[in-house]
């Protein structure tokens, strides 16, 4: 799976970071950094949770 973030929608609420800190991080300027843009399958549950909890729905998964 590949993580896609819509930078127009992302507002650095950081809920994705709470859901999956191995993959999502906010840098010193509060900008979202995708640490692994093609994470392994064992992270799927947490990554899908991150996508779901984003209040702005800024995240999508592509295969």
What does the binding site for other proteins look like in residue numbers (CB under 8 A)? 8-9, 11-14, 26, 30, 49, 52-53, 55-57
- Give the number of residues written for the chain: 63
Q: How far is CA 27 from CA 22, 30, 33, 39, 44, in A?
A: 14, 5, 7, 19, 23
Closest of 32, 37, 39 to residue 10, by C-alpha? 32
State the minimum distance, in angstroms, from the CB of residue 11 to other proteins. 5
Q: Which is nearer to other proteins, 29 or 38 (CB)?
A: 29
Beta carbon nearer to other proteins, 30 or 42: 30
Shortest distance (Å) from residue 46 CB to other proteins:
10
């Amino acid at each position: 799976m590949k993580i896609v973030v819509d930078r127009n929608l992302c507002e650095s609420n950081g809920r994705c970071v709470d859901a999956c800190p191995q993959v999502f991080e906010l840098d010193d300027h509060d900008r979202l950094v995708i640490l692994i843009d093609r994470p392994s399958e064992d992270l799927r549950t947490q990554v899908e949770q991150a996508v779901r909890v984003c209040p702005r729905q800024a995240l999508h998964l592509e295969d």
